[in-house]
Amino acid sequence: MTILPIRIYGEPVLHEVAEPVGEITDEIRQLVADMYETMDLAPGVGLAAPQVGVNKRIFTYSWEDEEGTKYRGVAIDPELWISSAEPESLEDLDEDEEEGCLSVPGERFPLRRAEDALLRARDIDGNPYEIEASGWFARILQHEFDHLNGVLYVDRLGLTFWKQAFKVMRKKGWNAPGNSWLPGVDNLEG
């Protein structure tokens, strides 16, 4: 397996709608294996194919809840339905609603997400499956699904936090093509 470079905000593939996978080939299976390894080393709870420069509708996820239940899988050509999010107010966002992203490494900002989500996708063998998620796991699924539509979480921030995020990205020289980092080599998370 190979650790893949993770693209940073501004790389064009991150801002495009990803294309359907269709047939699951050996090349797709290898990509998914590499994505798992990259996500685990980063470390992250999810990784979408556009984040590693591949414009395909695939994401991996790996998360363990407080009760020790593990959620780990791949979503190929997913569909996602969400409940309505509570109206966003800067006053009532708390740190449980902060998100980070491997394509905006080391930064975290509060973002209101829907509490519940329903994911329908195919697994690595092409078998369809469905997951009902709530809380943090629903947030992960929404975050990764957004990547497949060319949307990063910082694009959804309220104006105050959006300004802060883009100020940081300008200072770091991001928001332009050609920036990436390699988990296990570059230390951009801290």
- pLDDT tens, position by position, 22-53: 999 999 999 999 999 999 999 999 999 999 99
* 19 flagged as catalytic: no
Give a yes or no: residue 190 inside a domain: no
Q: How many domains does the chain have?
A: 1
Q: Is 101 annotated as a binding residue?
A: yes
Phi, psi of 156 (to 5 degrees): -100, -5
Q: How do residues 70-90 score in pLDDT, each as one tens digit?
A: 999 999 999 999 987 665 554
89 part of a folded domain: yes
Domain contains 189? no
In a domain, residue 100? The reply is: yes
Does a structural domain hold residue 187? no
**How confident is the model over 162-177, as pLDDT tens digits?**
999 999 999 999 989 9
143 a known binding residue?
yes
> Given a cut of 50, is residue 91 above it in pLDDT?
yes
Q: Which domain holds residue 24?
A: 6-181
CATH code assigned at 33: 3.90.45.10
> Could you give the CA distance from residue 153 to residue 102 in angstroms, rounded to a whole number?
11
Q: Is residue 1 part of a domain?
A: no
Say which of 37, 99, 107, 144 is annotated catalytic. 144
Is the C-alpha dihedral spanning 4, 8, 11, 16 positive or negative?
Answer: positive
